[in-house]
Structures are given as structure tokens and as C-alpha cells.
Structure 1
Amino acid sequence: MKVGKAGEFGLIARITARLPLGPAALLGPGDDAALVAVPDNRVVASTDVLVEGRHFRRDWSTGEDVGHRAAAANLADIAAMGAVPTALLVALCAPPDLDVRWAEELAEGLAEEAGLVGASVVGGDISSSPTLTIAVTALGDLDGRAPVRRSGARPGDVVAVAGRLGYAAAGYTILCRGFRSPKILVESYRRPQVPYHAGPEAAALGATSMIDVSDGLLADLAHIAEASGVAVDLRKDAFPVPVQMRDAAAALGVDPYTWLLAGGDDHALAATFPPEARIGADWLVVGEVQEGVPGVTVDGRPYGDGATGWDHFRS
């Protein structure tokens, strides 16, 4: 069945039937608005949009895959503030000839990813559109902590990352070349493995700044450098290259560090910590914060001669 035949309210009923409610959702879909508990008395909020042909392709990813990606992009932003995600609001704009089952799979993927952190989809909207578009707003709770912003990095801090880097970018390149393996790289593009727990953990450990690596490590650390008025220098040899990535790069004629340093969509977390902070095994130290003109270097020099990450209006 196509969504045009199911109709707006028929489609809503099919989608909401696949959205269980988590503990923070006091009132879910069905009324004019949802009701979400706010124990901290502050709400962390973020939003992202996924557009077919720009952020995903249906011949590369199932509806469930796209649901995971759409949720992850937003939940990671909440974690990067040091908060715990609580709820998602989702707007779906779909062409009338979209298969209903694809929309149901999207809902299942959204619910599964949100469930990883105890969050839930509490509402949203549906509209007809010639371009398949998913817009997600995420809410989160700081549990009494101060938010970890981009502007707190100080000279002498160490730079550390948690989660995968380069996997999704490698998977994207592989798919663009018409291949479907190595599976771990392709699946990382379809469904990122986000270290959600590392965000609140970093806040508790005294992180001075933090960001979700969505556009590429160099590009996103540049936001921290600019906001904090500092320079960031990374050590290239601090980044291990997984064997699957090394082999794929050799086969495709790509420098794997381009994926690691400038590739996005893994939604790793990058943070700065005071040098005396006892950061755990989840975090890999990869550089340091220095005095100087705001920017990011690798081994003391600008990296490469091309783009350092994703830009919607250039890429």
C-alpha cells in the first residue's frame, strides 16, 4: 500500500503503533502536544533534517536504517552537551507513492535507536512532499549538570575522542563506487554506532568543551577552536587505522586518514579535558589545545589541501 492510499491519519496510526513510550514521556502521540518530564527544570534541544538524495538513498538503506540514522544524528547532539536524551519529535514529509511499509520501518528504526538511551518518539507531523524528508527534534535532560559547551577549551587541555571515526565516510565511498563490502564500513554508514553514554561521562569527568562529530573531526574541532579562541593540534599517529579501512582505502586509492580526519556521520564525540582529568577507556587522547590563532592542525601543520569536512552548500 502507498501512503497516498493509506491517508494521513491511517499512516499516523500505523506509525504510532510502532512507537513505545519511555519513562520521560508522560503523554505521547494522540493529543495536540506531548508531555515530557523535565526533572532538571531545563531542556536541552536540537534538531536535524534528512533529505532523500542529500543525506540518504533508498537503494542504499532500508527505512529502518534511515530511522536509526535520523535518530542518531539528533541524540548525539544531546549527548555532546553532556545530557541524557529523553524524547524525539519527528516530522515526515513523503511523496504519495511512498510504500507504507517503508514508513513503518522508519518508525521502527527511530524507536529502536531512541530506545538505546531510554528515550522515545513522543509526537510529530506528517505532510505530502515531492521530496522525502525527515525532520527530527531531540530533547534531553542535564540531571543537574552544567552543559558542556564548545567555548570552554583552554590551552593545555588534551583533546580526546570517543566512538568510531572514518567508518561511515568509508562506507559512503564504498557505496558510491558500487560496492557493498566490507560490511562493517557499509553498515556504519547505514546505522552509526554512537557512544551516547560518553557525553554525560565526559561532563562528569570535567570536560571543558565537547562536540558531536557529524561533519568531520577537523571541521567540528574547528568550531571548538573558534568558539574557545584557541588552537588545536592533533597527532596523526594517535589515530589507529582499522584493517578493514586500510584494505578498503588501498583498493579504492584513498588515503584512509581522509576518512578518519575529515569524514562525518559516525557521530563520535570529541571533547577537551584538563590535563589532570582521569578520562576512562572510552576516550582516546589525540591531541592538545594550544594558544594561537583559532584553527586545527595535524602535527603542527594544516591538513591536506582540500575540504576538512562536510558542508551542505559546498559538498
Structure 2
Amino acid sequence: MTETLGSTGEFGLIAAVTKGLSTGEDVLVGPGDDAAVMAVPDGRMVITTDLLVEGRHFRQDWSSAYDVGRKAAAQNLADVVAMGARPTALVVGFGGPAELPTAWALELNQGIADECELVEASIIGGDTVQSDKIVVSVTAFGSLDGRPPVLRSGARPGDEVAYVGRLGWAEAGWAVLARGFRSPRAVVEAHRRPQPPYAEGPRAALAGASSLCDVSDGLLSDLGHIAAASQVIIDVHTKALTVPEPLQAVAAATGVDALKFVLTGGEDHALVGTFEPADVPEGWTVIGSVAEGNEERPAGTVTVDGAPYAADTGHAHFRS
């Protein structure tokens, strides 16, 4: 007989998902009490949260529970490093139907734990509840290690725009899955499990990044956040962008402009930021420039090769 959440119960599930969890030196009190306790040596902590809802952010016929766990952790850990911080811990809220196999929840937890292991972050607590569909909420914490945070509002005229990581892969994977296919496998796996360049956030901060953002909604959309917060204009130079072969194959099969995947595809969690030209870290690709606003292009604007981008610039929640 398959054990379900209903038969396992809330406290049985909590005991199962916390069994054997290790905690890092930043954790003073881990799972098991009313709240966890974290050490914050310099008095500042980065905190972020994200929500995944079944049918909206993932589908069980597209992704395994383990995939969902990796993705849930990754999108939060990427937000932490996008502040220039070092991830330290996360807490997990989980809701699911009583008939959901307990094994699904345990597999989800393993995916979260394995993604955390990549950055040596600890799972320190959370909550469980019965719900009509699966919901996963993750809150992540990070330490600035004495550095100031890198904000979206710091871009300056004369800076260069650079990125590191993958662009458009997850979006291409979604396009494939939405049509009932499973190849190219590389893009499908990118949709299921993003691969954020975790080490590059703190590295960019140390290099002197003036602003930083993770690409969760799309390159143009997220650069728009930087442009608006910094009150500058950002121009993206498409000649500096490359479209990998798997994205070209998907574009050809679906009739989509391959470059659109790169410009507007989200959920790869690449990092994009602005730097003085001499400060761009090795391994980052310069793809644009920052300038002051003017009458033709007001502050807060993002252009592509000097002109407005005609299509949607990326994902927008609650867009009808």
C-alpha cells in the first residue's frame, strides 16, 4: 500500500524530511523548535522568498518531484547571490493533497537539499499544510560577509552591461514541452533544473559591480528593473549575444525567432549586472551599455540596438 500524506501525517512528514539534515556553522538552532536561529556576524542578512504552484510553475507530467525541489531552491538561492551575498540557509513551506504519495514530498525535499549542497546552505525549518494542489514556498537567507549589498539602483552612465550563465534555455525547454515533445533534451533539462552561476554573485560584488540582478523574468525585463531603479537607459547590443545550437533547433521547429529566447526567456537565473569597463569579471560577457536618459529615450528605458523592442520583454505575473 502506498503511503500518502494523509497516512503519514504532518509531524510524520516533518520528521521524515528533517531526518539526517546537516547544518552549517551559520545555524545556531536548526529544525525542531518554534523557530531557527542564525548567526549574523555583521548585523545584516539578505532574505528572499518565492512560490511555486502546481499547474502554474511546474507540472508533474513534465518534472519529477526532485526536479521541482532543485528548481524551488535554485530560484531563491539565485536571488541571494544576485545581491552579492553568500547563501546560508532556507526554510520551506509545503502544501499538498492528502492523497499525494509521501514519497513525492520526500523526493522534493531531496532535490532542495541537493541544490542547497551546491552552495553549502542549510535547510533550517518550514511548515506543511494540506492543499488542493501542490504548493512549494521557499524563503532563503544569505550573508553579505561584511560587504554592502549590490542593488538594482546602482547602474551609472558609462557602465557596461555584462552577464554570466545561460539565457533562453529554460524558455526553449518550455516551448518543447508545451508541444508534447522531450527533445532537445538539453533545453528540457534546463527548464526542469536551472543552473545558476552561484559563485559569480559574490565575485561580481568583489569586482565592483554597480548593480546586479538575476534573470528570472527575461533579460530585457530584468534589465528594465535595473534601468528603472537606477534612472538610466540601457541598450543591449545583439551582436554581442550568441544563440546556442539547441535554441536554434527549437526556434526552427517552432517558428520562433531564436534571438527572442535569449532576449526574453526567463528562469535560467543567469546573472546580469553593470560595471565600470575595467571591472567586468573574467568569464562575463559584455552585451550592452548604460547612458543617461533623454527626450527620445527617457530614463528607465531598455532598448535593443538603439531601438525599442516591439514584443513582450519577458514574463509578467498576472498578465492576462
Shorter-chain TM-score category?
Answer: over 0.9
> Pairwise CA RMSD of aligned residues?
1.1
Aligned residue type for 2:76: N
Say whether 1:284 aligns with 2:285.
Answer: yes
| Higher mean displacement: 249-258 or 144-153 | 249-258
Q: Deviations over 1:148-171 (max 9, x none)?
A: 000010111000011100000000
Aligned residue type for 2:258: P
Residue pair 1:93, 1:126 contacting (<8 A) in 2 also: yes
The residue that corresponds to 2:241 in the other structure is: 239
Say whether 1:267 aligns with 2:273.
Answer: no
Aligned residue type for 1:165: L
The residue that corresponds to 1:314 in the other structure is: 319
Aligned residue type for 1:291: E
The residue that corresponds to 2:214 in the other structure is: 212
Residue pair 1:14, 1:104 contacting (<8 A) in 2 also: yes
Residue pair 2:93, 2:128 contacting (<8 A) in 1 also: yes
Say whether 1:40 aligns with 2:42.
Answer: yes
The residue that corresponds to 1:70 in the other structure is: 72
With normalisation by structure 1, the TM-score equals 0.97
Residue pair 1:15, 1:104 contacting (<8 A) in 2 also: yes
Residue pair 1:50, 1:133 contacting (<8 A) in 2 also: yes
| Higher mean displacement: 214-223 or 31-40 | 31-40
Matches within 5 A, 1:1-315: 1-17=3-19, 19-281=21-283, 283-292=284-293, 293=298, 294-304=300-310, 306-314=311-319
1:278 to partner: Cα distance: 4.5
Aligned residue type for 1:276: A
1-side partners of 2:137 and 2:21: how far apart? 16
1:275 to partner: Cα distance: 1.9
Q: Deviations over 1:195-253 (max 9, x none)?
A: 01110001001000011110001001001000000000001111111111111211111
1:18 to partner: Cα distance: 5.5
1:20 to partner: Cα distance: 2.7
Secondary structure of 1:218 counterpart: helix
2-side partners of 1:19 and 1:165: how far apart? 33
Aligned residue type for 1:111: A
Residue pair 1:18, 1:107 contacting (<8 A) in 2 also: no
Q: Deviations over 1:55-83 (max 9, x none)?
A: 01111111110001000111001000000
With normalisation by structure 2, the TM-score equals 0.96
Residue pair 2:162, 2:280 contacting (<8 A) in 1 also: no
Aligned residue type for 1:307: D
1:131 to partner: Cα distance: 2.0
2-side partners of 1:91 and 1:68: how far apart? 15
Name the CA shift for 1:156/1:311 in 2 (closer, same or farther; >3 Å).
Answer: same
2-side partners of 1:119 and 1:279: how far apart? 25
Secondary structure of 2:279 counterpart: coil
1-side partners of 2:105 and 2:280: how far apart? 44
Aligned residue type for 1:300: G
Q: Deviations over 1:110-134 (max 9, x none)?
A: 0011110010110000011112111
1-side partners of 2:234 and 2:99: how far apart? 49
Secondary structure of 1:276 counterpart: helix
Secondary structure of 2:277 counterpart: coil
1-side partners of 2:192 and 2:20: how far apart? 21
Aligned residue type for 1:309: G
1:280 to partner: Cα distance: 1.2
Secondary structure of 2:42 counterpart: coil
Aligned residue type for 1:204: L
1:39 to partner: Cα distance: 2.3
- How many residues of Structure 1 are paired with residues of Structure 2 in the alignment? 313
1:36 to partner: Cα distance: 1.7
Q: Which runs of at least 4 in structure 1 moved beyond 3 Å after TM superposition?
A: none
1-side partners of 2:14 and 2:166: how far apart? 35
1-side partners of 2:81 and 2:20: how far apart? 25
**Structure 2: gaps (5+ residues):** none
